[in-house]
Amino acid sequence: MAVSHSAIVILGASGDLAKRKLIPALATLYEQGEIDETNVIIGTGRTEYSPEAFRSRFDVPEDFARLLHYYVGMEGLKKYVDGKGTFEQIIIFMALPPSVYAQRARELAAEGFGAETRIIIEKPFGYDYQSARKLNEELHAVYDESQIFRIDHYLAKEAVQNILVFRFANNLFHPIWSSAAIDSIQISAYETIGVEDRGDYFDGSGIIRDMAQNHLMQLLCLMTMEAPVSLDAEEIRAQKVNVLKTISIDSVHRYQYEGYRSERGVKPDSTTETFAEIKLHIDNFRWTGVPIYIRVGKALDRKGTEIGIQLKPLPHLLFNQEGRVQPNRVIFKIQPAEGIILDLASKTPGSEVRLARTTMKFCYEDEFDVEIPEAYQKLLLDALRGNKTLFVSAEETEMSWRKYADFLDHGEIELYKPGHPPPTKLGCEWIDFERYGSACD
């Protein structure tokens, strides 16, 4: 059923996010029949726009453009929304700096946006544990947790959502998904670019806050959580929280690429990390003894986010008497070219028994003849339908920050050359994800 009789309000609609992502995503949902003509989309901002001038900013179909309206400021906004019709729900997307989330929430409540309202906010959800907890308290003072939707874009990626299907819909893998068969878990998130025009933001954040504490911890939770009793959003989120409770961080090493301090917006004496490698473990029966490694950074030799599950080596018997058979691996390609790769041993053609490493690949683009939805399409539609599966709870946010409390901004910063990841200090053999190429090759 198409979503109907809803008011979608975008605070900060005169900015870049609305132009590049939000309005195009809503237009696509309209063209696909996911939202209908009974909805209205109201942009707000400090910039003066007539409705016609606001609509002209977007390259959207004319029938969709008729749903677009614009209002200047906050005062009187609720009255303006009510004047556009009778709505079953009001979705408010804060395309604003995180520093004003709490203030805008209070202003919205004062305007009369009440139980019919859902608030969507983007990361970062705080700067550390204390600020995250304070933000949640301020939001909860005016809105119930059920009304607050915290976006994590990684959770909207098809490859991420498929992790649970892979694990719990295939009995082939369920029996081996524990310390009995798995030797280690590795998560890698590399970018080739530096900070570019985000120097001001990034220098006050760093790669641990920007990526490790949120996106990559969410990936780890989905990869290691117990099976929920149902697909209800709260059941899935409860299992992620259970994993977070048992995670301990063993060590963090921080690095910075040469030339970072010369980037626009970066302090000349900055000690902000642009690369980090992290060792963790999970203290529960399933994962005890399994080391978990994370490496994440900018200005590196390749772009890609992957998860590698390395199985334990074979005993020195049969084909592995000399210990030369490499352990099996499961590689999750999160981006780009989402897919899954199984690393196996097989016999090479010929009369003699010789083994070779081979791969079996699953590629979304090749397997399904449909367009993979952009993250905002999925997230906005889920928010409109009240589905919180892909949104982060207050408890998850605070607990993840708490795990990193002793490691944020701590430790020496070492330099590395752009395009060359620094040598590891974790004593592990990192999976060469580049060797596997794309799941869609």
Start-to-end Cα distance in the chain: 37
Helix %, strand %, coil % for the chain, to 5?
Answer: 35, 25, 40
pLDDT 10s digits, 64-86 = 999 999 999 999 999 999 999 99
Tokens 């299907």 — which residue?
Answer: 165
**Residues of the chain with confidence (pLDDT) below 70:** 317-321, 323, 350-351, 353, 369-372, 439, 441
Q: What is the largest CA-CA distance in the chain?
A: 82
CATH 3.40.50.800 assigned to domain 6-122? The reply is no
Q: Which two tokens stand for residue 276?
A: 């980090």
- Distance separating alpha carbons of residues 84 and 105, to the nearest angstrom: 22
Residue 73: HSE in the Cβ half-sphere, 13 Å Cα cutoff? 4
> Do the domains at 6-122 and 155-370+392-436 have one common CATH topology?
no
Residue with tokens 């200005």: 299
Say which DSSP state 338 is in.
Answer: -
**Domain segments of the chain: what residues?**
6-122, 155-370+392-436
Cα–Cα distance measured from residue 110 to residue 17, given in angstroms and rounded to the nearest whole number: 26
Q: Residue 372 has what pLDDT?
A: 67
Q: Is 215 a catalytic residue?
A: yes
Whose tokens are 């969410």? That residue is 218
Query: Is the bond preceding 124 in cis, omega lying within 30 degrees of 0?
Result: yes
Return the CATH number of the domain spanning residue range 155-370+392-436. Answer: 3.30.360.10
In the three-class reduction of DSSP (H, G, I as helix; E, B as strand; rest coil), residue 180 is classed as: coil
Residue 320: predicted pLDDT: 63
The pLDDT of residue 215: 94
Check residue 439 and give its pLDDT.
64
Residue type present at position 318 = L
Could you give the 3-state DSSP secondary structure of residue 211? helix
Please pick, among 5, 69, 174, 215, the residue that the annotation labels catalytic. Answer: 215
The 10 Å Cβ neighbour count of residue 56 is: 12
